[in-house]
């Protein structure tokens, strides 16, 4: 199957994320952002905030910050997303230490968890669409040896819940119900639906 034709940069789309995974996912469907402008916001969960609500709020806040007239041009679409791993109502962090990653993985070991990716698109005229992709993921029970080897590899750094499904941690996943691309970081079906719903035109390059 041939790759999708890339979108010409004049179809102005700002991706409000520095995530290489999100750029790669957009490229899979032929969309190349005209600019990458990460949104620096406070990602601390609100008191009693559920994982789903947290993912949606962060996506909306990131999009709104970059869509500000001080940053985005009046002809730009802005796309923002945020991925949150939840166990029940507990929000797992983007792990910054080995101990933190081990705590998250032991919590998910042998049980199910949910991955929520909130996305928000703001059109040049200010119209906005936001959605949440929810995927149920079941992880095998990890042995101490498996956990130690995984942690030694360092893939957990900066990852929500301490793992990336497209990395070596995929060997631990028994099943997923929902969007695989949503777990990676950007649910493609929902993203394309939001973009086209707001009038974003895919202009193939020559």
The ranges assigned to domains in the chain are 13-197
Write the DSSP symbol of residue 160: B
Architecture category of domain 13-197 in CATH: Alpha-Beta Complex (3.90)
* pLDDT above 60 for 7: no
Spacing of C-alpha 19 from chain mean position:
8
Question: Average pLDDT for residues 47-74, to the nearest whole number?
Answer: 89
DSSP symbol at 168? G
Residues 6 or more apart in contact with residue 123 via CB below 8 angstroms:
77, 198, 199, 200
Residue 104 has which token pair?
A: 């998250």
- The model's pTM: 0.89
| Contact predicate 63/81, CB 8 Å | no
Q: What is the pLDDT of residue 201?
A: 82
Q: Residue range 105-109: average pLDDT?
A: 97
> Which residue among 40, 82, 99, 152 is the active-site one?
82
Mean pLDDT of 51-73: 89
> Residue 137 is encoded by which pair of tokens?
């993921």
Q: What is the pLDDT of residues 122-171, one digit of tens each?
A: 999 999 999 999 999 999 999 999 999 999 999 999 999 999 999 999 99
Residue 6, pLDDT above cutoff 70: no
pLDDT in tens, 46-55: 999 999 999 9
> Looking at the predicted structure, is the pLDDT value of residue 3 above 60?
no
Is residue 99 annotated as part of the catalytic site, yes or no? no
């Amino acid at each position: 199957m041939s790759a999708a034709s890339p979108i010409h940069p004049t179809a102005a789309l700002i991706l409000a994320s520095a995530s290489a995974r999100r750029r790669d996912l957009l490229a899979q469907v032929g969309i190349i952002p005209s600019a990458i402008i990460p949104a620096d916001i406070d990602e601390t969960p609100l008191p009693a905030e559920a994982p789903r609500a947290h993912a949606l709020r962060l996506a909306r806040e990131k999009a709104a910050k970059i869509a500000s007239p001080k940053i985005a041009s009046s002809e730009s679409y802005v796309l923002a997303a945020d991925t949150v791993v939840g166990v029940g109502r507990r929000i797992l962090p983007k792990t910054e230490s080995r101990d933190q990653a081990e705590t998250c993985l032991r919590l998910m070991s042998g049980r199910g968890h949910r991955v929520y990716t909130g996305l928000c698109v703001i059109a040049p005229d200010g119209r906005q669409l936001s959605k949440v992709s929810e995927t149920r993921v079941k992880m095998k029970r990890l042995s101490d040896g498996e956990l130690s080897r995984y942690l030694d590899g360092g893939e957990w750094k900066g990852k929500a819940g301490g793992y990336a499904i497209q990395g070596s941690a995929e060997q631990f996943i028994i099943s997923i119900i929902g969007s695989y691309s949503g777990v990676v970081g950007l649910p493609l079906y929902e993203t394309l639906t939001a973009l086209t719903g707001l009038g974003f035109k895919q202009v193939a390059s020559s």
